[in-house]
Amino acid sequence: MSHAANVKEKVLGFLSGKSGENPFHLFAELRDLGSVVSIPNPMGDPNKNAWMITKMNTATKVLKDSKRFTVDPASIEKESGFRQEMVSDPDDSPDTFFTGKSMVFIDGIDHKRLRMLVSKAFTPKYMEGLRPRIQEIADGLLDQVESKGEMDLVKDYAYPLPIIVISEMLGVPKEDHENLQIWSSAIAKGLGWGKQDPSVQQHLKDFGDYTKRLVEKKRTHLEDDLISQLIQIEEEGERLSEEELISMITLLIFAGHETTSNLIATGSMMLFEHPEQLEKLKSNLELVPTAVEELLRFNGPSTSVGPRFAKEDLEIDGQEIKKGDMILVLVKSANRDEEVFTESEELDVSRSIHRHLAFGFGMHMCLGAPLARVEGDVAFTTLLKRLPNVELSIPPEKVKWQFTLSTQGLSSLPVSF
């Protein structure tokens, strides 16, 4: 096998969750092969080419070009619905963000309409208003473990914080948080290229059934929360269907915590692995917002953004792409692009970053980025202020990573302080 084929095969193994190896040297080798690299179609369709975008400038070009690329292959050719290939949706299931019509998988005016309905609740200004409550939640979680001198940073801190925040915004009762965690993490872990754990379908169904019941309950007793606001919009009749409502709620729950938990947990791990950067940050906590951007760039939660599909025959960086081809933008590779970042493979918490792609780019850029940024800021500042001696309590090589298609995380992170 040639070197190029070998690198591509390893990257695909990594993306399908089969390999747990550190991918960054593979991404560097991939960038050496070019900015647009052909790969065997990860969905197994031999009639459609697939490509990986490895570098920053090409990635931003593709992600902002909604005229020539779409997230919705069914808008090009009816039969090529890749989600249908990954999850066959039984007729009686309520729709979820994955099986139904959610903003992340559609383009054009429908995307704009759905995104507009919730965008006010995710502006940086609105998020600043939530900061005191996020602070209270972070403090409450540390109060529970402080006297013990140790905790699992994933289970006790990184995981519950974002789920409590998004659940309170939406109006999801506390007693249901655990189920949401179970469904969301099973779905995140169960989906990958060419991979679908048999349990995913059941978890999606349970998640959808639950959300439908919650909406029915809330209809009789609207409150001051985002789900109640969306129900009112749906009941007005024109702007949101019930299918879209359920898809939207499940999307906000799913997108709103798994990734942010990973930012907090992986970010902490990156700091433990770079003790001089951890010390730099501890001695100047005002650097935390800058450090959050660097942690997102250096090893953010998302490996790639959702695939794009070419709407026409076209050319990118001299490479011919055919209508219907799948394009996978590897944001983790673009974020280490040596043509854009000096010493791109180094972590520098004081680095000033003009742009990274951890939240994607263009019209599908992460809606929740302002929330994730405030949560990251509060989480790291509170952790380092209250537990300045926090350190890993197992050797770094024993820490268990979970590498999956869309996100990367840790199953646990034992620390002492």
Cβ of residue 92: shortest distance to ligand HEM, in angstroms?
26
Cβ of residue 360: shortest distance to ligand HEM, in angstroms?
3
Nearer to ligand HEM, 36 or 331 (CB): 331
Nearer to ligand HEM, 29 or 162 (CB): 162
128 vs 140: CA distance, rounded Å: 19
Instruction: State how far the alpha carbon of 274 is from the alpha carbons of 47, 378, 399, in Å.
Output: 45, 21, 15
Cβ of residue 132: shortest distance to ligand HEM, in angstroms?
18
Nearer to ligand HEM, 26 or 104 (CB): 104
Cβ of residue 257: shortest distance to ligand HEM, in angstroms?
7
Binding site for ligand HEM (CB under 6 A): 103-104, 115, 166, 251-252, 255-256, 259-260, 263, 300-302, 305-306, 358-360, 364, 366-368, 371-372
Secondary-structure breakdown of the chain: helix, strand, coil percentages, each rounded to the nearest 5: 55, 10, 35
Nearer to ligand HEM, 4 or 369 (CB): 369
Cβ of residue 104: shortest distance to ligand HEM, in angstroms?
4
Query: Can you tell me which residue has the tokens 């590779």?
Result: 333
Q: Which residue is nearest to ligand HEM (CB)?
A: 368
268 vs 21: CA distance, rounded Å: 19
Q: Identify the sign of the CA torsion 256, 258, 261, 262.
A: negative
Nearer to ligand HEM, 7 or 214 (CB): 214
Smallest Cα–Cα separation from 76: which of 405, 314, 242? Answer: 314
56: Cβ contacts below 8 Å, ≥ 6 apart: 334, 335, 337, 339, 340, 355, 357
Nearer to ligand HEM, 259 or 344 (CB): 259
382 vs 162: CA distance, rounded Å: 14
Cβ of residue 299: shortest distance to ligand HEM, in angstroms?
11
Nearer to ligand HEM, 221 or 354 (CB): 354
Cβ of residue 357: shortest distance to ligand HEM, in angstroms?
7
Query: Which amino acid, one-letter code, is at 61?
Result: K
The backbone torsions φ and ψ at residue 320, rounded to the nearest 5 degrees and listed phi first, read: -80, 130
Cβ of residue 103: shortest distance to ligand HEM, in angstroms?
4
Cβ of residue 337: shortest distance to ligand HEM, in angstroms?
16
Nearer to ligand HEM, 166 or 204 (CB): 166
Nearer to ligand HEM, 98 or 359 (CB): 359
Smallest Cα–Cα separation from 72: which of 122, 107, 97? Answer: 107
179: Cβ contacts below 8 Å, ≥ 6 apart: 206, 210
268, 281 contact by CB (below 8 A): no
Query: Which amino acid, one-letter code, is at 257?
Result: H
366 vs 169: CA distance, rounded Å: 17
